[in-house]
Amino acid sequence: MLKGIPKILSPELLKILCEMGHGDRIVIADGNFPSESVGKNAKVIRADGHGGCEMLEAILTLLPLDPYVEKSVKLMQVMPGDPVETPIWDKYAEIIDRVGGCSTDVIGEVERMAFYEEARSAYAIVATSESALYANIMLQKGVI
């Protein structure tokens, strides 16, 4: 056991967070995200039974966000005409502010298909059991 490491972070995920360098991206995917097919060239970590908020909070305790890009956090944009509400985005913003130490200015939205394309080149994808729709979030690692 290690002190100060959130229990939700598996040894495999800790290793991946350590391996990532400045500019690498990690996706925290909801339960509907096609993690295995989109992540066939990435490292896919199963986090079954865990939600997006708890995973985001745990990862941000260790991962610095990139201050050198306009938007170091990206959300999958709701499809035009889709009546889905995204209250989880407000929770994500609160976690980014509280744990990540960043204002919500670092958060941007990416059109759905463009998000999938960006996710294909992510270093890793964490497949959660998050049931909220459009709860996918991509983080770009910064420097310490």
- Alpha helices by DSSP H, listed for the chain, are 11-19, 35-38, 52-60, 87-98, 112-120
The confidence score (pLDDT) of residue 28 equals 98
Tell me if residue 66 is catalytic.
yes
Taking the CB of residue 137, how many other CB atoms lie within 10 A of it?
A: 28
CA gyration radius, the chain: 14
3-class SS of residue 51:
coil
Question: Does the 24-140 domain belong in CATH 3.40.1650.10?
Answer: yes
3-class SS of residue 38:
helix
Q: Which of 30, 50, 66, 123 is catalytic?
A: 66
The encoded tokens of residue 74 equal 């990206």
Q: How far apart are CA 100 and CA 92, in angstroms?
A: 10
Q: Tens place of pLDDT for every residue, the chain, 144 residues?
A: 789 999 999 999 999 999 999 999 999 999 999 999 999 999 999 999 999 999 999 999 999 999 999 999 999 999 999 999 999 999 999 999 999 888 889 999 999 999 999 999 999 999 999 999 999 999 999 998
Q: Which of 22, 68, 90, 105 is catalytic?
A: 22
Among left, alpha and beta (phi > 0; psi -120 to 50; other), residue 108 is beta
Tell me if residue 22 is catalytic.
yes
